[in-house]
A and B are shown apart, each in its own frame.
Chain A
Amino acid sequence: MSTAETFPAFVSRKSFIELDGRARAQSLFDEGTAKELVGPFDGIESPWLAIQGVAPQADDGCIVIKGKIGGLPAVVVSLEGAFQGGSIGEVSGAKMTAALDLATRDSEAGKKTAAVLLLETGGVRLQEANLGLAAIAEVISSILALRQHAPVITVVAGTVGCFGGMSLAAGVSSYVVMTKEARLGLNGPEVIEQESGIDEFDASDRSLIWAIHGGEQRVGMGEADALVEDDADKIASTIRGYVQAGPPSEHRSEQVKLYRDRIAALDTSEQIDPMSLRQRWNGNNTTGGAR
């Protein structure tokens, strides 16, 4: 392909990653249907940050917008990765849980309401410790309740990625959508290095990080469902597809035996490389190149 063919497409595409949390959420809705709930002017800030010398944010870094996606009712919860690393505190966790629970209530009343979680987060907000941990437990149980009625779609676009407790929320979602730039994992690279040493994981080695946590690898291993380019239109149309498809017949997190057997079958006497793991677990569905 010549540069003349690729250059205009690259320039004219609308990046999703470059949007802030609110604009990302708004970009997913059908024109004119989006309505923000508990927005910044409602002033529900974290009561814990100021007493620890950290400036709060008026929406606590959690944006909740209700509307229609592809003509169907949906709620989008977007975490603002630029505020405290998208971390989950008491307020942001409560907003997310309430949004999911209201979607469950509507779904049970016959109005199936899908949820889209835009996760750019390092997990629990350390300044709010136990409240953040409790919030994550609540979010996960709310996802489990909603996914019986309507799909819960997690999008990890980057560049923060999705780590810690919120990676568990991604794990129990109906579908996970990632870009090549995104990362998803329980322990982030720096945590692994700190806990197990640089021999175990070199957090400065970017190609290693993306080979383990990156979107291509996650989709390649079958731990995420779609690898989408960083393009707001493509991400929106992928989400529309999943909203219309409804929940899968069996969620990934319900396939306990499959994953137990897979892990039991691994030979840990040799170093397993990312590419062979993709081939072993996902066979011919492997997308993207080796890193």
Chain B
Amino acid sequence: MEQIEFDYPAAKRRIAKKAHVGVVGSGDMEVLMDSASGEGAHVSITTSVNGFRDTWKVVFDRFFSKFDGAVRIRINDAGATPGSVLLRLEQAVEVIEQ
């Protein structure tokens, strides 16, 4: 069990909608995305697989290189691979940008 937090202060675009996608099933995760309370975006991850902080960082660096919303992202993870993490994030973005 590991708790991981990241901040992306450069993501400043205001977001009005919320999104909830995914299930905390084996190899999957859920994402809750809503507007951040402060400036910039904040990510908070609860994962049952320890020791992958650097991998999460790489995935989110890539995600925020294309996305600029000031969102609060909360993740409950049950061992999603980096590929599925990005897919779930894109799915959530699709919901809030609709």
A residues 53-75 with Cβ under 8 Å of B? 53-58, 61
Report which of A20, A39, A55 forms a contact with B78, defined as CB distance below 8 A: A55
CA distance A20 to B78 in the complex (A): 17
B residues 1-35 with Cβ under 8 Å of A? 1, 18, 20, 23-25, 28-30, 32, 34
**Which size class do B's interface residues fall under?**
10 to 19
Q: With a CB–CB cut-off of 8 A, which chain B residues contact A41?
A: 18, 20, 32, 34
Shortest beta-carbon distance from B74 to chain A in Å: 7
Contact with A along B22-58 (1 / 0, CB 8 A): 0111001110101000000000001110000000000
Task: Say whether B18 contacts A55, CB under 8 Å.
Answer: no
Q: With a CB–CB cut-off of 8 A, which chain A residues contact B24?
A: 55-57, 61, 82-84
Counting CB contacts under 8 A, is A274 at the interface? no
Task: Say whether A53 contacts B1, CB under 8 Å.
Answer: yes
Task: Say whether B20 contacts A83, CB under 8 Å.
Answer: no
Q: With a CB–CB cut-off of 8 A, which chain B residues contact A83?
A: 23-25
| B interface residues with partner A (beta carbon < 8 Å) | 1, 18, 20, 23-25, 28-30, 32, 34, 46-48, 74, 76-78
What are 21 A-B contacts with C-beta separation under 8 Å? A20-B23, A40-B30, A40-B32, A41-B18, A41-B20, A53-B48, A55-B1, A55-B29, A55-B46, A55-B48, A55-B77, A56-B24, A57-B76, A58-B32, A61-B24, A80-B23, A82-B23, A82-B24, A82-B25, A82-B28, A83-B25
Which 3 pairs show the lowest CB-CB distances between chains A and B? A82-B25, A57-B24, A55-B48
